[in-house]
Amino acid sequence: MSFVGKVWKVLVGIKDGLVLLFMLLFFVALFGILSARPNPGAVKDGALLVDLSGTIVEEKSSLDPIAVLLSRSAPVGEVRARDVTRALDAAVTDARVKAVVLDLGTFLGGGQVHLTEIGAAMDRVRKAGKPVLTWGIGYADDHMLLAAHASEVWLDPMGVAVIAGPGGSNLYYAGLLEKLGVTARVYRVGEFKAAVEPWTRTSMSEEARANIGGLYGALWEEYKASVTRARPKLQLAKVTGDPQAWIESAQGNMAQAALAAGLVDKLGDKTQFGARVAELAGKDSLDKTPGSFAKSELAPYLADIGDKRPGKKIGVVTIAGEIVDGEAGPGTAGGTRIAKLLDDALDDDLAGLVVRVDSPGGSVTASEEIRRAVQRYRDRKIPVAVSMANLAASGGYWVATPGERLFAEPATVTGSIGVFAVLPTFENAAPRLGVTADGVRTTALSGQPDLVGGFTPAMDSLLQANMTGTYRNFLGLVAKARRMPVERVDAIGQGQVWDGGTARQNGLVDEFGGLPEALAWVAGKAGAKEGEWHAVYLGESGNDYDSLIRRLVTERSSPATGAGDLFAMTALRGEGLASRLGRDLARLTGTRGIQALCVACPAGAQVPDGGGSRQSGGLLGVLAWLTGD
């Protein structure tokens, strides 16, 4: 008994120790969560510091804390565009804010629409007589779209500033697939659906080149107009027309070349820049570090100014990222998740609804699930508007069809009305490995789909007929929503992509405007005057652990997002090649059902690859299940 008693005491001691350990971890985590919350008390007189570390997005991606901690790598930072504009607009009348500082040292970019909106907010701050300053070690296209609106643009003397313009190369795999003996079976409707061309061609088709070239040309003209209007002294033609001569004129000194061309105003390191801000906004009474200045950071400032919530509620549902089936998101538009958000809010006494879209599209079944949920608001006579951000293409336009009024910006990319799917088969590759397929069939569809033996003509016809029917359904939805003949929609459809200006001309959108204009329109339809309504963002909740996890991981890993000299910026751009190849491979092998997806659409910030559930509906979804995908 004495031995058993000793064993029992040991077990009890281990149990008590584990309980104490878990309690300790719990309270440490609780303290971390509470300390990670923005503290409004940190706001003080001085500068409003907006650290744009990472990308500017419509909606922040969800963060899996376990996966992030196990990976021991810091996730790319995300800053929500409307948070920045809300803070800048508050700074206009806030006597505590003497100046606004945008730290672009680790900024990775954003969509043209978001950057234009933030630039306009910067203009409003300057119009109120408050200086706006930016600092960076590397300025590229997206950086300059913001910096052009600053009163002082600072560049590190070792830094670089260049403007390259939109465009670049796509990757084409037809030659590789031929060598491997892999057959990429493409099913599509839309002569301009360039998303499938990487699997069938070795270069871009002339149809796709004409359409995408026109889109890029329109976006480039809009970019040039915006930058030169905000910064007339910028010698854009010199910078982009003959960059070699421009750099050589400064003996290869990139920073001096940027200064001479009017890209930046002053050269200085962060300490010198901080001293300049201190002249304008005051010194920090506690922090005596060289380059310090009195400041309030973005998160506590937003917590301090709060949200005014008078009058009627207007719901805003965000559809950001690739549209996929299931519960994925935020940051990825899971159809089931978004439809549930809409249905849960249907009885919340909303005066109206704004559908905010920043998506290249994706799964047809998920897009239809969201569209039906939005339509239920229309069926209840609730006013619905659609606000398009950077992208509202393919499935992103599909979900917009229930809207009464569609708002877009000139730099919005929309349209891409077309559908496709790609399925790989291995009837040519398998015999090379000594694998062949044979058997008995009773019908033309027996044993289909057969990935090793190949598809029968009947199977091919069935899949293409399904694709054609889906496209006709897409045309019908657009024709009914836009009050156009189906033939007219087909003429501007076929997978063609349009900038916001052209989309307005051809009737795909109603007027120019952003989210504020869409909200105001819905409020007017609901009979609410200015100051008598407020926006409610469906499904939005603060993840208190998010900033804590990011802080913990960032402190353990070296930052890889900082810009450097021209070679560092080139290397950083090249790091995305492997992930690009991985995504392309996943699109070929990862059957996801029929796609209404604009793969060729430009996006300033990376669009998250569809995560979460990959289960697709429809005929191709069934095929994915049958083939074990």
Digit-coded pLDDT (tens) for 566-575: 566 565 555 5
Provide, for the chain, the percentages of residues in helix, strand and coil under a 3-state DSSP scheme, each rounded to the nearest 5.
Answer: 45, 20, 35
Q: Which of 136-145, 196-205, 374-383 has the lowest mean pLDDT?
A: 196-205
Give yes or no for a contact between 429 and 180, defined as CB atoms under 8 angstroms apart.
Answer: yes
Q: Which of 133-147, 170-184, 187-201 has the lowest mean pLDDT?
A: 187-201
Tokens of 386: 């659609």
Give yes or no for a contact between 545 and 36, defined as CB atoms under 8 angstroms apart.
Answer: yes
More confident residue, 540 or 254: 254
The highest-confidence range among 147-156, 285-294, 523-532, by mean pLDDT, is: 147-156
* Nearest-angstrom CA–CA distance, 316 and 354: 5
List beta partners, residue 334. Answer: 324
Q: In 107-204, which ranges are E strands?
A: 107-110, 132-139, 152-161, 183-189
- The pLDDT confidence band at residue 551, using thresholds 50, 70 and 90, is low
Q: What is the pLDDT of residue 41?
A: 54
Give yes or no for a contact between 154 and 134, defined as CB atoms under 8 angstroms apart.
Answer: yes
- In the chain, % of residues over pLDDT 70: 82
- The pLDDT confidence band at residue 610, using thresholds 50, 70 and 90, is very low
3-state secondary structure of 365: helix
Give the pTM: 0.85
Q: What is the pLDDT of residue 619?
A: 46
Exposed / middle / buried, residue 346 (Cβ in 10 Å: 0-12, 13-18, 19+): middle
Q: Pairing between strand 46-51 and 97-103?
A: parallel
Cβ atoms < 10 Å from Cβ of 529: 9
Closest of 590, 58, 56, 116 to residue 360, by C-alpha = 58
Instruction: Indicate if the pLDDT at residue 213 is higher than 50.
Output: yes
Digit-coded pLDDT (tens) for 63-90: 766 666 666 666 778 999 999 999 999 9
Mean pLDDT of 499-524: 96
Q: In 1-45, which ranges are E strands?
A: none
Q: What is the pLDDT of residue 241?
A: 92
Digit-coded pLDDT (tens) for 352-377: 999 999 999 999 999 999 999 999 99
Q: What is the pLDDT of residue 553?
A: 53
**What's the 3-state SS for 349-405?**
CCCEEEEEEEECEEEHHHHHHHHHHHHHHHHCCCCEEEEEEEEEECHHHHCCCCCCE
Q: Reading across the β-sheet that carries 46-51, which strands appear in turn?
A: 266-267, 152-161, 132-139, 97-103, 46-51, 295-297
Give yes or no for a contact between 392 and 371, defined as CB atoms under 8 angstroms apart.
Answer: no
Catalytic residues: 193, 394
Domain boundaries, the chain: 1-36, 42-163+231-305, 312-537
**What's the 3-state SS for 222-261?**
HHHHHHHHHCCCCCHHHHHHCHHHHHHCCCCCHHHHHHHC
- The pLDDT confidence band at residue 57, using thresholds 50, 70 and 90, is very high
Q: Which of 91-105, 205-219, 547-561 has the lowest mean pLDDT?
A: 547-561
Instruction: Indicate if the pLDDT at residue 287 is higher than 80.
Output: yes
Q: Reading across the β-sheet that carries 323-324, which strands appear in turn?
A: 183-189, 419-425, 595-597, 361-363, 323-324, 333-334
Instruction: Indicate if the pLDDT at residue 292 is higher than 80.
Output: yes
Tokens of 124: 């409003």
Q: Pairing between strand 384-393 and 107-110?
A: unpaired
First to last CA, the chain: 58
H or E stretch including 266? strand 266-267
Instruction: Indicate if the pLDDT at residue 623 is higher than 50.
Output: no
The CATH code of domain 42-163+231-305 reads: 3.90.226.10
Digit-coded pLDDT (tens) for 27-40: 555 445 444 455 55
Mean per-residue pLDDT of the chain = 85
Tokens of 134: 């930016």
Class of the 312-537 domain?
alpha beta
Q: What is the pLDDT of residue 22?
A: 67
Q: What is the pLDDT of residue 504?
A: 96
Residue with tokens 């948070």: 83
Cβ atoms < 10 Å from Cβ of 132: 26
